[in-house]
Amino acid sequence: MRAASISRRTAETDVAVTVALDGTGRCAISTGVGFFDHMLELFARHSLFDLDVAVTGDLHVDHHHTVEDTGIALGQAFAKALGDKRGIGRYADIHLPMDEALTRVAVDISGRPFLVFRTAFRVEKIGQFDTELVREWFQAFAMNAGITLHVETLYGDNAHHIAESCYKGLARALRAAVAIDPREDGRVPSTKGSL
């Protein structure tokens, strides 16, 4: 099974993450940020990655460090679990509808981290959660996972639906991109021979 654990401790957060790419979507999430927990639960369920996330953060300041540092640790665990990437599909994309919102997500497990994030929120908060932190998490995850990631919400009104379409879209795209393609016969999917 392709799995990895990362522990990351700073003066601001203490993060422990375990991810298993060939799972069933089982998860145990505890970050202290309710809406963020919900997004990570959706991510696990729709990627079919088994995911354990335990975070203690400086929530008396705000949610920023907790969300960003979780993205960093989860990205590192994802990259570690993939190993040398032999046999994976590598590329995937999806249009993910969530009621009135539609988000397009495209991913390349390239080893070249890059994020294009074209999603806007009409409100600053979803409950107590700052909507600007959605992009912060995607940035932290993409940079540390070593993936090229494009996220664009084509339309939508409800901030919760927009955020949910982004997380579910990433989950579904990664689920396809990490899948083993038997026609690759264990090769790295690159003419360079490595990713």
124-134 tens-digit pLDDT: 999 999 999 99
Lookup: tokens for 94: 């999806």
Q: Can you tell me the distance from the alpha carbon of 35 to that of 53, in angstroms, rounded to the nearest whole number? A: 14
- Mean pLDDT in residue range 35-63: 98
What is the distance in angstroms between the CA of the first residue and the CA of the last residue of the chain?
Answer: 20
Residue 43 has pLDDT above 90, yes or no: yes
Residue 120 has pLDDT above 90, yes or no: yes
Residue 192 has pLDDT above 90, yes or no: no
**CATH code for the structural domain at 3-184:** 3.30.230.40
Ranges of each domain in the chain = 3-184
State residue 178's pLDDT score: 98
Place of tokens 């599909």: 89
Residue 193 has pLDDT above 90, yes or no: no
Query: Would you place residue 140 in the very low, low, confident or very high pLDDT band (cuts 50, 70, 90)?
Result: very high
Q: What is the pTM of this model?
A: 0.97
Q: Can you tell me the distance from the alpha carbon of 97 to that of 155, in angstroms, rounded to the nearest whole number? A: 10
In this prediction, what percent of the chain has a pLDDT beyond 70? 100
**In this predicted structure, which of 40-44, 141-145, 190-194 has the lowest mean pLDDT?**
190-194
Query: Would you place residue 191 in the very low, low, confident or very high pLDDT band (cuts 50, 70, 90)?
Result: confident
Q: Hey, what amino acid is at 195?
A: L
State residue 1's pLDDT score: 85
State residue 54's pLDDT score: 98
